[in-house]
Amino acid sequence: MSAPPDLPDVVLRAFDVCRRAGYVSFCRNETGRLLATLAATRNGVMAEFGTGCGVGTAWLRSGVRDDEARILTAERDPKLARAATEIFTEDPLVDVLTADWSTLRDKGPYSLLFLDSEQPSEVGVDAIADLVETGGIVVLDDFWPCEQWPPLDGNRVDTLREQWLTDERFTAVEVMVASDSSVVLATRR
Ligand SMILES: C[S@@+](CC[C@H](N)C(=O)[O-])C[C@H]1O[C@@H](n2cnc3c(N)ncnc32)[C@H](O)[C@@H]1O
């Protein structure tokens, strides 16, 4: 996808932290740019399930327009959470929680929810729907683009993607961010 090569400062700081921690499991820049673009449409509280070393959080932060928005992100691995905290120590708009994402259940509803915890069984629509405000957006990362229905993951029906794309509580779409990667965007009705 076309994109200018320059990255926001906060994202560069996150990459520095990742390099020092030897961490590579972060969202790709294409997804990051989408997160920033969506964050720029939001007020209120956004959340991320699975901080890693803070790259996705940094992309979200880069899109925030004003002091009206906040970002909560939860990472259950204390080393990773500590590393991500470094990026945002002086940022009152971002809280990195060293915790299972279930901690975030009590802190919503969210205007945007980035689900990136690598635990598909925990991010089904029923578990998530009530955490999102009306008009709130859910972003699910890391799908292999699929042009058929039902969507496949390898040789099996991808029931998570199928569920998100058909649930009546959301208007949803799968969007390719690169030739080998897609995300699902779902807006709460
Ligand atoms: C793909 S990485 C996150 C990458 C990050 N969102 C980014 O874009 O840079 C997934 C992270 O989710 C964390 N994780 C998995 N299950 C979790 C849970 N139940 N609660 C909190 N974090 C979880 C893992 O430890 C891992 O660091």
Tell me whether residue 9 is exposed, middle or buried, using C-beta atoms within 10 angstroms of its C-beta: 0 to 12, 13 to 18, 19 or more.
exposed
The reply to whether the predicted model has a pTM over 0.75 is yes
Mean pLDDT of residues grouped by 10 in the chain (189 residues)?
Answer: 93 97 94 98 97 97 93 97 96 97 95 89 93 98 93 93 97 96 97
Residue nearest to ligand 1 atom 11, measured at CA: 50
CATH label of the domain that carries residue 59: 3.40.50.150
The predicted structure's pLDDT at residue 66: 87
**Angle (nearest 5°) at CA 37 between 106 and 12:** 90
Flag whether 7 is in a domain: no
* 68-94 pLDDT per residue, tens: 899 999 999 999 999 999 999 999 999
Flag whether 12 is in a domain: no
Containing structural domain, residue 129:
27-188
Flag whether 13 is in a domain: no
Q: Is the CB of 95 under 6 A from ligand 1?
A: no
Q: Is the CB of 117 under 6 A from ligand 1?
A: yes
The predicted structure's pLDDT at residue 104: 96
Residue 88 in contact with residue 127, Cβ under 8 Å?
Answer: no
Flag whether 71 is in a domain: yes
The predicted structure's pLDDT at residue 80: 97
The predicted structure's pLDDT at residue 117: 77
Give one DSSP letter per residue of 31-87, joined into a string: HHHHHHHHHTT--EEEEEE--TTSHHHHHHHHH--STTEEEEEEES-HHHHHHHHHH
Regarding beta strands 44-49 and 69-75, do their DSSP bridges make them parallel or antiparallel, or are they unpaired?
Answer: parallel
Among 82, 115, 117, the mutation site with the greatest number of ligand 1 atoms within 8 A of its Cβ is: 117
The structure tokens listed for 126 are: 């029923």
| Partners of 75 in the β-ladder | 98
Question: Number of structural domains, the chain?
Answer: 1
